[in-house]
Structure 1
Amino acid sequence: MELYPQTKPDYEIVISGAGPVGLSLAIALCDLGFECLVVSKDGDFEPQKGNFDGRAYSIAPACWAMWRVFGICEALEPFAQPILKVEAEAANFSPICFDFEEDEEIDGPLGYIVETHAILSTLWEKARKTAGLTFKSNTKLSGIKTQSDRVLISLNDDDTKISSKLLIGCDGRESFVRKTAGIEFAGHDYEAKGIVATVELTKPHEGVARQVFLKGGPFAVLPLKNNLASLVWTERIVVADSLMTLNDLDFELELREKVGDFLGEFTLKSGRFAYPLKMRIADTFSTDRIALAGDAAHTIHPLAGQGLNLGLKDVAALAETIGKAAHVGLDIGSTLALEPYDEWRRADTINMALGMDVLDKMFKAPPALRGLVGFGMSLMGKSELARSFLSREAKGVSGRNMPQLLQGHPIQF
């Protein structure tokens, strides 16, 4: 084991990645009094120039409650479209419908669709004003060595090194932290891509999020402000790649032919993005001196829009776990201190990932089975109990032992 002078580490916590998960985690930890460094391979975030680029996230109310604790929701609200109703259907069958009034115990909408740029801009502004938080931009991790009381982190393929009690990888599905730590990332590819674009609708969307299960995959219409809608169109890779080569007019024609009256009249208002769909879950979310959160720990099928929400739930659980460990005098980077986080989040993530996987497989099944699934969805749509359960799942408030931040409360011990 490499020897290191018995001095205090340079930082208590280093976070690799400055996306919504990494920034939210940094804010949560600094609010608990920790000194954190966020390392970003990109430059400092710059305000968007020009029109909305078409990308948006679905945010569950429980995650919105955490951001409300951070004091950023007021800045996000002009860009956030409340989801007042959800409709999900299999082609040719009655849809499942539920709205924000399904469960009287829960106030507010089923969620929010928020522009990606607005989320990043708001989180960066908050992070820059957060005491105890510093940044290293245009910086890449090039090596990681764990020691008994710290982790040594090499930067930019040179001799630059920093030390920390704990390194947290929030650096995406191709996470350098996860790979260097030797943590397996098991799962499979869906042999499909999701195409994302924004359209302007002729008729008001009235805050309704809609999803139909087609043979090639699910097609979702997510409401945005100003009667815009974010489309998520899942297709086999070869079809998706072909669609991405079309000009805007031909793409619109293909879209109209594919979804018919489901979308109604529309006009394409943004560029198109395509990304491969994968299901991967890390064998562990933590090891000695290292933890993972967000896409570095898991990626799932996007058909329920829960990818970022899973990452934000990681934030709430990991911040509370680290805070509690420090409160009782544990070394925050030790395996003992981090084990509760792994136990808290991994089972929930596996359940969500498998649920999305099963749904995807059911709607890719032979026609007879797809018809049976569609009929089952019709029956669920008529059940108040089923609709209430789905409503609570969508809001992120199902289950027990929710982290304090997801309940809308600051972390306390």
Structure 2
Amino acid sequence: MRDNPHIFNGHEIIISGAGPVGLSLAIALCAHGFECLVVSKESVFDQKQGDFDGRAYTIAAGCWAMWDTFGICEKIQPFAQPIQKVEAEAASFAPLSFGFDDGQSEDRPLGYLIEAHSILSALWEKAQNTKGLSLVTNSQLSGIKTHADRVDVSWNGSEGGASARLLVGCDGRESYVRKAAGITFPGHDYKAKGLVATVSLKQPHNGVARQIFLKNGPFAVLPLPNNKASLVWTEREVVAEALTDLSDRDFELELKEKIGDFLGEFSLLGGRFAYPLKMRVADSFVSDRIALAGDAAHAIHPLAGQGLNLGLKDVASLAETIAKAAHVGLDIGSPLALEPYEEWRRTETINMATSMDLLERMFKAPPIFRGFAGLGMSLVGKSETARSALIKQASGCDGENTPQLFQGRLMQFS
């Protein structure tokens, strides 16, 4: 419980969006004594009735540590596949691959693979039982007005509304909050889609996440419990759409022809889903009484599986920024209070987005450049120092920039 909470009209903070980022932020803030209102365009999530959209997320060690402070890891654990090793290969050249083990702890995995609906189920259940957290479902923001001392929001064409000190947009790439704040979202589209499918594997995957770089984009095999795997196949838009429309049998044949023995024997489970790929970073993560987090603030290429991890690090950083500002008596919606979050997260996000963009471009470049990229990847795989640095970066636990929640600690200030 934080010191001297400044309750405003029943809610200090309004959060637009009830995905993993929005709900995690609300839970983190309420654990510190804030009163939060979450506005969700969806109904309360029910795993038994929810539509499975095919997605599975790579969850880094820091994100898992934060969720552990919420007390939800026990619920998620049965649906989580520990990642014991990561391997990558550059196609069309002599075999180039690297794998790395977590040398920091023999019993701690590099991260986890979890299907999206299992994450949402746990977070919704926690949110509904969190003191100080209110939920408005089946509602979309339709008005935002900022004032010197508050922000007013309305939803569903003014059928409802509320005021708070701070509004946080966790409402995705097409964020209403970002657009209303006049924050631009520069970047580019890859003119490609990530085709997602789930398969059952004949051979044990042993917790190994694998990726091969093909001419049109990377192809990833991400391990799931019960020897299943989530496939993420990047292709040009027109090709991805055609593959989505194929029968299961024809899709399996196309897949085998494309990647040969890389996947081994498999059988398709469920449907296929295609998502457009973009690279975008908001020009600012904060405005007057407004902050952005997750996909509302950035979108990166999924080849390293860091999209949600970036969003969850936004959560940990923003929660700590808000809590520290309140602790020293600042107005949590003021520019002075929010500036540290902007400085903390935006540069790191730009660096990650640029790195993924460069890697994607290099492996789609003419053969000589792809060869240099493959050679560089091979050298990284042979360097213990480089592998250690990759592990630390992927975990989200990078020294002084690591939020307290990512260290598995509740936020505290002396």
2:84 corresponds to which residue? 84
SS in 2 for 1:272: strand
- Which whole-Å deviations, capped at 9, do the CAs of 1:216-243 have from their partners, x for residues lacking one? 1000000000000000000011111111
Tell me whether 1:100 sits opposite 2:89 in the alignment.
Answer: no
Report the alpha carbon displacement of residue 378 of structure 1 after superposing the two structures with TM.
2.0
Counterpart-to-counterpart distance in 1, 2:107 and 2:342: 30
Question: SS at the partner of 1:226?
Answer: coil
Whether 1:282 and 2:282 are equivalent positions in the alignment is yes
Partner of 2:224: 224
* Secondary structure of 1:262 counterpart: coil
Query: How has the CA–CA distance of structure 1 residues 243 and 71 changed in structure 2, closer, same or farther, with 3 Å as cutoff?
Result: same
Asked if structure 2 preserves the Cα contact closer than 8 Å seen for 1:48 and 1:117, the reply is no
Mapping 1:325-344, distance limit 5 Å: 325-344=325-344
CA deviation map 1:77-131 (0-9, x unaligned): 1000000000011013434433333x33686111100111110000011111100
- Return the offset for 1:53: 5.9
For residues 114 and 409 of structure 1, the distance between their equivalents in structure 2, rounded to whole angstroms, comes to 23
Q: Assess, with a 3 A threshold, how the Cα gap between structure 1 residues 375 and 8 changes in structure 2: closer, same or farther.
A: closer
Q: Is the 8 A contact 2:20 2:123 kept in 1?
A: yes
Distance 1:401 1:158, change over 3 A: closer
Q: Distance in 1 between matches of 2:137 and 2:159?
A: 17
Deviates more, 1:378-387 or 1:206-215: 378-387
1:97 touches 1:387 (CA, 8 Å); kept in 2?
no
1:259 aligns with 2:247: no
Q: Give SS of 1:271's match.
A: strand
Distance apart, 1:244 and its partner CA:
1.2
Is the CA contact 2:98–2:377 (under 8 Å) kept in the aligned structure 1? Answer: no
RMSD of aligned C-alpha atoms? 1.6
Q: What are structure 1's unaligned runs of at least 5 residues?
A: 1-6
Shift of 1:159: 5.3
How far is 1:50 from its partner? 9.2
Q: Which amino acid aligns with 1:46?
A: D
Q: After TM superposition, give the deviation of residue 408 of structure 1 in Å.
A: 0.8
AA in 1 matched with 2:383 = S
Q: Distance in 1 between matches of 2:379 and 2:328?
A: 50
Q: How does 1:3-402 map to 2 (within 5 A)?
A: 8-49=8-49, 54-91=54-91, 92-101=93-102, 103-104=103-104, 108-158=108-158, 160-402=160-402
The alpha-carbon deviation at position 377 of structure 1 amounts to 1.9
| Whole-Å separation in 1 of the counterparts to 2:223 and 2:300 | 22
Report how far residue 55 of structure 1 moved: 2.4
Shift, 1:376, TM fit: 2.3
Q: Is the 8 A contact 2:90 2:97 kept in 1?
A: no
Structure 2 CA distance for partners of 1:77 and 1:65, relative to 1, 3 Å: same
Question: Contact conserved, 2:10 with 2:35, CA < 8 A, in 1?
Answer: no
1:389 CA displacement:
1.7
- Local SS of the residue matching 2:348: helix
1:50 and 1:294 map into 2 onto residues whose CA distance is: 22
2:300 aligned partner, one-letter code: I
What amino acid is the match of 2:407? Answer: Q
Identity of aligned residues (%): 68
**Alignment match, 1:3:** none
Q: Is the 8 A contact 2:143 2:158 kept in 1?
A: no
Quick one: distance in 1 between partners of 2:267 and 2:137?
A: 38
**Which SS does the other structure have where 1:42 is aligned?**
coil
Q: Supply the distance in 2 between the matched residues of 1:207 and 1:52 (Cα, whole angstroms).
A: 23
- The question of whether the paired residues in 1 share the 8 Å contact of 2:85 and 2:101 is answered with yes
User: Which letter does structure 1 place at the counterpart of 2:99?
Assistant: F
The answer (yes or no) to whether the contact 2:187–2:280 under 8 Å persists in 1 is yes
The residue type equivalent to 2:405 in the other structure is L
Q: Secondary structure at the match of 2:69?
A: helix
Offset of residue 202 of structure 1: 0.5
Instruction: Using the TM superposition, name which of 377-386 and 164-173 deviates more.
Output: 377-386
- Unmatched tracts of structure 2, length 5 or more: 1-6
CA distance in 1, matches of 2:72, 2:249: 39
Q: What CA distance in whole angstroms lies between the structure 2 residues aligned with 1:149 and 1:9?
A: 12
Cα separation, partners in 2 of 1:65 and 1:93, compared to 1, 3 Å: farther
Q: 1:69 to 1:143 in 2, by over 3 A?
A: same
